[in-house]
Amino acid sequence: MRKWLVVVVAVVSVTLVSGCSSREAGGEATVLNLTTTGMAFTPKDLSLDVGKAVKLVFKNEDSVLHDLSIDTIAVSKKVEKGDKHNDHGKEPDLHVAADAGKTGTVEFTPKAVGTYTFYCTVPGHKDAGMVGTLTVK
């Protein structure tokens, strides 16, 4: 009789544990592709949903290093993968760099609605037109 009870408890426990290992919350990140050619971002206007994870794929098709930076933006779960450089004076809240012909990625979740300016921090590039707008809605 006691042995039977132990078996029932064991089966119930296994059922509960496996019930918790269903899909992870949050789901897949939205992939956003952005390319640089001829000292310009394409597209130069980006739109994202607040609270939704995004993977920004930054593809540099020019022959010099570029980056994409936003000085002030509230983001969470930020993971930056790209070429390291220290051209920017202060560390931007969001940054991804890619050397000539390379691709960098940054994953993040925007936390606040707003309109943000993104630009390339390499000296002279912003003035040459490497600037765009990110809208979080």
**Residue span binding Cu ion (CB under 5 A) among the ranges 15-23, 43-51, 76-84, 116-124:** 116-124
Pick one of 40, 54, 97, 120: the residue that binds Cu ion (CB under 5 A).
Answer: 120
Pick one of 122, 132, 134, 136: the residue that binds Cu ion (CB under 5 A).
Answer: 122
Q: Cβ 63 to Cu ion, closest distance in Å?
A: 11
Query: Could you say whether residue 95 binds Cu ion (CB under 5 A)?
Result: no
3-class SS of residue 15: helix
Backbone angles phi, psi at 124, to 5 degrees: 90, -20
E-assigned strands of the chain?
30-36, 41-42, 45-48, 54-60, 66-70, 75-81, 94-98, 103-110, 114-119, 131-136
- The residue count for binding Cu ion (CB under 5 A) is 5
**Residue span binding Cu ion (CB under 5 A) among the ranges 7-15, 18-26, 66-74, 110-118:** 66-74
Q: Which is nearer to Cu ion, 95 or 125 (CB)?
A: 125
Q: Cα–Cα distances in Å, from 22 out to 9, 17, 19, 25, 26? A: 21, 10, 6, 9, 12
Interacting residues of 19 by C-beta distance below 8 A, sequence separation 6+: none
Pick one of 40, 46, 54, 66: the residue that binds Cu ion (CB under 5 A).
Answer: 66
Query: Could you say whether residue 68 binds Cu ion (CB under 5 A)?
Result: no
For residues 19 and 40, what is the distance between their CA atoms, to the nearest angstrom? 49
Query: Could you say whether residue 34 binds Cu ion (CB under 5 A)?
Result: no
Q: Cβ 122 to Cu ion, closest distance in Å?
A: 4
Residue with tokens 């765009």: 132
Instruction: Enumerate binding residues for Cu ion (CB under 5 A).
Output: 66, 120, 122, 125, 130
